[in-house]
Structure formats: structure tokens, C-alpha cells
């Protein structure tokens, strides 16, 4: 598999794939493309203790919250939207995906993410997106 094929495999930008996803996702992806912002997918569930901790500690941190304002944040409850979780191959929670505006996955963060890690990952993602033509 060459790098173009690998990028295609990691991308949700393929029209057929996007058509199979719910409207809330396709609308968020369209907004990310339009605004040139990265898309952050937060896969979580109500019963997930580390997910609640990320929400309460990490996402609530002022620095992280400020960086998330430069992104399109999409919170996806895997119990309510198992089709989206399956599409992305989510097998454990929390699972955070960082996508370029075109839908190409840049990174996957598994498990609890502290504020420092999340801040560094978001800064890198935003910098990469701002360098794209």
C-alpha cells in the first residue's frame, strides 16, 4: 500500500463512506472543511468513568478549552451511535480521534488524556492544519 492509499484508508472524506454516516457527522465534517478547522471526535459513553474524568478535568481546563475552540469538537456517545463507532473501529473508551479538515485521521488518543497531553496534541494538530495549503 503506497502513502496515497494509506491516506485514503484513514480518511472519511470518501463520499461513499460519508454517505453511510449520520447527518450530525457529515454536517460537522462539512463545517470543518468550510472553516478549515480540524475535527476532534470524542468517542465516549455515559458509563465510562475515564470519559467523565476527561470531560470534567481535561476538556474543562482553560488552555485545552481555548484550543478546542479552534477545532470542531464532536462528542459521540458510542451507545447512541454504534454505527459511527464501528466505522472508526472504536474498541475501547475513551477514544479521541484528531482529523484534518478533509476528514483524514491524524492521530488517535486512547484512554484518559491529561491536560498537558491533550494540550500538546491539539497544538500540534492546529499547527499542522494551519500549514496545509
Burial class (CB in 10 A: 0-12, 13-18, 19+), 122: buried
Residue 48 bears catalytic tag: yes
Q: Report the residue count for the chain.
A: 133
Number of C-beta neighbours around residue 100 at 10 A: 22
Q: Is 71 a catalytic residue?
A: no
Q: Are 37 and 91 in contact (CB under 8 A)?
A: no
Sign of the Cα torsion 105, 57, 111, 46 reads negative
Among 32, 39, 41, 48, the active-site one is 48
Task: Quote the CA–CA distance of 38 and 46 in Å, as a whole number.
Answer: 25
- Please identify which of the residues 32, 51, 99, 129 carries the catalytic annotation: 51
Give the SS3 label for residue 50.
helix
Residue numbers annotated as active site: 48, 51
Amino acid at each position: 500500500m503506497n502513502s496515497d492509499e494509506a491516506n485514503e484508508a484513514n480518511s472519511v472524506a470518501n463520499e461513499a463512506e460519508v454517505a453511510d454516516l449520520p447527518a450530525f457527522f457529515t454536517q460537522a465534517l462539512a463545517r470543518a472543511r468550510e472553516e478549515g478547522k480540524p475535527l476532534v471526535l470524542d468517542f465516549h459513553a455515559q458509563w465510562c468513568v475515564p470519559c467523565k474524568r476527561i470531560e470534567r478535568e481535561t476538556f474543562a481546563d482553560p488552555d485545552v478549552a481555548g484550543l478546542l475552540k479552534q477545532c470542531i469538537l464532536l462528542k459521540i456517545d458510542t451507545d447512541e451511535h454504534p454505527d459511527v463507532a464501528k466505522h472508526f473501529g472504536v474498541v475501547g473508551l475513551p477514544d479521541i480521534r484528531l482529523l484534518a479538515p478533509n476528514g483524514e485521521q491524524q492521530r488517535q488518543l486512547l484512554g484518559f488524556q491529561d491536560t498537558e497531553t491533550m494540550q500538546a496534541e491539539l497544538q500540534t494538530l492546529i499547527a499542522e492544519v494551519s500549514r496545509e495549503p
